[in-house]
Structure 1
Amino acid sequence: MKIIATNIGERKKIDWKGKKIETGIFKYPVSSPIFLDAEDVKGDAICDRENHGGILQAVYAYSLKHYDYFKNLHPEVNFEMGIFGENLTIDDFDETKIHQGDTFKVGETILEATVQRNPCYKLGIRFNNMKIVKQFWNTTFCGVYFKVLQTGFVKTGDEFIKIKSCSENPTIAELYVAKRVAKGV
């Protein structure tokens, strides 16, 4: 697993059903290394601290391989790296094989897989199509949130090297399916 893109977003105000909201989902690739801090990525806007950022959701990673599935459903969309709101776009990332607690050395950092990403309406805003939210729920392509055990810089080309395996714990995909069932989606 290797980083294909590092992505940062600015705070953006948008009109949503007649109401002004702020979002940081509009993330785009940057060419310089990014700093993964204990509760967020330095320079990346997090507008909803209740659902993003913090110790357990400091960094969000998503697989480039999942892009193809959604490209078929949304051929009109320009699929730039970061479109799913991820900080790290990874070449080959599989939520069915990553367990909660698995730990990786990446660049200068050490990252621990914590929880799945649950989609909200802001993903629909980014895609300009609310259908993406249900389509996202109906897969196991949720991406992975990471806790930063050791802060530092990561950059495009850095590899995820597993240093601890927690196969006794549920996979991120299993957590996601359980959340989907609990929500009745």
Structure 2
Amino acid sequence: MKAGHIVGLGKPVAGGATRIDSVLLGVVRPFGPKGVPSGIDKQALDTAVRVTMLGLAGDGQGDPKHHGGPEKAIHHYAFDHYPAWRQELSALSAQAAEVLARPGAFGENVSTAGLTEADICIGDRFRLGGALVEVSQARQPCWKLNHRFGHAGMARAVQQSLRTGWYYRVLEEGALMRGDNLVLVARPCPDWSLQRLLHVLYVDRLDVGALAAMAALPALAENWRKLARQRLERREVEDMERRLAGG
């Protein structure tokens, strides 16, 4: 059993440590058939990097309207999901095998083994190396993953699998490098795992009670709380097609 987990639950215990296996940064470059600016192609670092309120120093975002910012400062993706993706995509895309050969396939900044969306709750506070971070939201996959993996349905597959990864806001700046620890220091919302949040968002999408609770969740990023309020007011689910398939 990995240190810091409760048998049968898989939840990190306060003070338990998970090793940071990779820290990754991306430089903004032309991406996809239209050459849109993107920093999704992130590369692993062997040296320390500064964690700032806007993310890792030097990490580029080609579309700051939808990526990056204080509520999406750092993207964490579980390396635990890679074997399933390799198996599921092996017959669909040779390009997928190449990007899945190492951490960074999903544009993540942090890669670990032993923590997934079932183990993380909204509002969880972690000591990340020398920084203090807080889980702010899950990821909403977009069409760039389709080009990244050479599979037109990749963004939709990530959404449907609920293997999305998650974001941190930064509460205290500090240094981070591969081999540092991720240590849980507070869990204010134990009933709101990311798995539950994603189920509300993408599976049982008009559960009125869950949406009302989601809208009132103080640690959740405001744009997600707004989304819950809009579903409650309109009694309908927003159109996701442009995000998943592109323009």
TM-score normalised to structure 1 length: 0.91
> Offset of 1:169 from its aligned partner?
5.0
Larger relative CO (CA 8 A, sep 6+): 1 or 2? 1
Code of the residue aligned with 1:30 in structure 2: it is L
Q: Contact conserved, 1:2 with 1:92, CA < 8 A, in 2?
A: no
> Offset of 1:15 from its aligned partner?
4.4
The answer for the alignment partner of 1:143 in structure 2 is: 165
Kindly provide the CA deviation profile for residues 32-56 of structure 1, in whole angstroms up to 9, marking residues without a partner as x.
1222110121111111112221111
| Structure 1 segment 23-172 matched on structure 2, within 5 A | 23-75=38-90, 76=94, 77-78=97-98, 79=100, 80-172=102-194
Q: Highest Rg: 1 or 2?
A: 2
For residues 44 and 53 of structure 2, the distance between their equivalents in structure 1, rounded to whole angstroms, comes to 21
For residues 24 and 238 of structure 2, the distance between their equivalents in structure 1, rounded to whole angstroms, comes to 29
| 144-153 or 27-36, larger mean C-alpha shift | 27-36
The answer for the alignment partner of 1:12 in structure 2 is: 29
For residues 50 and 146 of structure 2, the distance between their equivalents in structure 1, rounded to whole angstroms, comes to 28
For residues 15 and 110 of structure 1, the distance between their equivalents in structure 2, rounded to whole angstroms, comes to 34
For residues 66 and 45 of structure 2, the distance between their equivalents in structure 1, rounded to whole angstroms, comes to 24
Structure 2: gaps spanning 5 or more residues = 1-17, 206-236, 241-247
Over the aligned positions, Cα root-mean-square deviation in angstroms equals 1.7
TM-score normalised to structure 2 length: 0.69
For residues 175 and 164 of structure 1, the distance between their equivalents in structure 2, rounded to whole angstroms, comes to 19
> Offset of 1:22 from its aligned partner?
1.0
> Offset of 1:23 from its aligned partner?
1.0
> Offset of 1:149 from its aligned partner?
0.7
Q: Contact conserved, 1:108 with 1:151, CA < 8 A, in 2?
A: yes
For residues 142 and 74 of structure 1, the distance between their equivalents in structure 2, rounded to whole angstroms, comes to 16
Higher strand share: 1
Q: How many residues are matched?
A: 183
The answer for the alignment partner of 2:7 in structure 1 is: none
Code of the residue aligned with 2:28 in structure 1: it is R
For residues 72 and 25 of structure 2, the distance between their equivalents in structure 1, rounded to whole angstroms, comes to 15
1:112 to 1:15, Cα distance in 2 relative to 1, 3 A? closer
Aligned partner of residue 176 in structure 1, secondary structure: helix
Structure 1: gaps spanning 5 or more residues = none
For residues 20 and 135 of structure 1, the distance between their equivalents in structure 2, rounded to whole angstroms, comes to 23
